[in-house]
Amino acid sequence: MSPSSAKRLITLEEFIIQGQNRFRGATGELSQLLRDIGLASKIISREVNKAGITNILGLAGSQNVQGETVKKLDIFSNDQMLHAFARSGIVSMVISEENEEIIRMQSSSGKYVVFMDPLDGSSNIDVNVAIGTIFSVFMRKSDSEDYPVDEDALQPGINQVAAGYVLYGSSTIMVYTTGIGVNGFTLDPSIGEFFLSHPDIKIPEFGSFYSINEGNYNGWSPGLKKFIEYCKEKDEATKRPFTSRYIGSMVADVQRTLLKGGIFIYPESIAKPKGKLRLMYECNPMAFLVEQAGGMAVDKHGNRLLEREVTNIHERSEIYMGSRDNVQLCADYMKRYRKTVSSGTKAFEPAEV
């Protein structure tokens, strides 16, 4: 095979630089930030892959063979991401699932604010199930000469300038958007390089999968119950029953939904009136990705999730996201049934906590 006929592989670095060159006057700072995340995720991927063997070599909290204290993987991942953001001095604040407070970086002039869940689904580590890192990037509103203020972090999802995830699954894949489509890069661990493997991801308009924790069925709204019953009914014309798939690791469930279509739901319920997932570092970045791939993400009223006002950096939100047809149908069910019950005797209104 001549060199010219060999398939030309594009690395994450090259792709980021090509993207940057398309914008005249781009400073390259966002590109740097994405490269930093790429590097941190390679280090996390290496540790995640060692997790099983680490159990043999030393449990978290104990000392490993080099005499170092073994850290829990979610703490390790948090540290790696924070180091990455500290390195280039372009991030002024980080909000992490692992830290109650906003982390103010030394470079207070950095123009970006990053939200992250450094290792989502970490309860799945012990059973070798896929887990992931989620990130969401905003531009701060205050002047970079001043210290960043809390309001810089409290922005609606629509203001995100980049978002993505890294899935540590059967292979490690980084999927991100900067608002011009969604692209995925698979890590070749033998040379430590991410290559473009999923260019311009488009979610199917319809998919025959539904993904939700059905153990919580009794606490759902009547409309959601009806929608899930619809998914299970037999009807060849509409390809039902749909297939149920739920990993319980958001990054993995979203990755399948993006590639194969369908709907992923973590709803409000009687036990969890605001759902479980966090708006700023779980729901918003995934909503941005799915919209950029041509899909939809809404709240329980069918409103666009990215427009939700935020009052607390760690607040929770319900999420209904995926293929347009599936999400629209689910939203229609919830609206239709809400009307019926509210005009009747009893409306579903889970109590606020």
Binding region for Mg ion (CB under 5 A): 117, 120
Q: How many residues does the chain have?
A: 353
DSSP string across 35-72:
HHHHHHHHHHHHHHHTHHHHHHH--TTSB-TTSPBPPP
192 binds, among ligand AHM, Mg ion, none (CB under 5 to 8 A by kind): none
Report the first-to-last Cα separation within the chain, whole angstroms. Answer: 65
Please give the single-letter amino acid code of residue 204.
P
Residue 126 in contact with ligand AHM, rule: CB under 6 A: no
Ranges within 197-256 binding ligand AHM (CB under 6 A): 213, 248-250, 253
Q: Which is nearer to ligand AHM, 177 or 249 (CB)?
A: 249
In the bound complex, what is the minimum distance in angstroms from residue 90's beta carbon to ligand AHM? 26
The conformation of residue 283, written as its DSSP 8-state character, comes to I
Beta carbons of 295 and 256 less than 8 angstroms apart: no
CA distance 27 to 192: 27
Ranges within 20-59 binding ligand AHM (CB under 6 A): none
Tokens representing 53 are 């063997």
248 binds, among Mg ion, ligand AHM, none (CB under 5 to 8 A by kind): ligand AHM
**Piece of 120-128, 147-155, 191-199, 345-353 that binds ligand AHM (CB under 6 A):** 120-128
In the bound complex, what is the minimum distance in angstroms from residue 215's beta carbon to ligand AHM? 7
In the bound complex, what is the minimum distance in angstroms from residue 27's beta carbon to ligand AHM? 33
Residue 120 in contact with ligand AHM, rule: CB under 6 A: yes
Tokens representing 188 are 């070749």
CA 292 vs CA 200, 308, 345: distances in Å: 9, 17, 41
Ranges within 271-330 binding ligand AHM (CB under 6 A): 276
Q: Which is nearer to ligand AHM, 266 or 337 (CB)?
A: 266
Closest CB to Mg ion: residue number: 120
Name the residue among 272, 271, 276 with its Cα closest to residue 250. Answer: 276
In the bound complex, what is the minimum distance in angstroms from residue 259's beta carbon to ligand AHM? 17
**How many residues of this chain interact with ligand AHM, rule: CB under 6 A?**
13
Q: Count Cβ atoms below 10 Å from residue 184 Cβ, excluding itself.
A: 22
Angle between helices 222-232 and 324-343 (to 10 degrees): 130
Among 110, 118, 121, 267, binds ligand AHM (CB under 6 A): 121
Chain positions contacting ligand AHM, by CB under 6 A:
97, 117, 120-123, 213, 248-250, 253, 266, 276
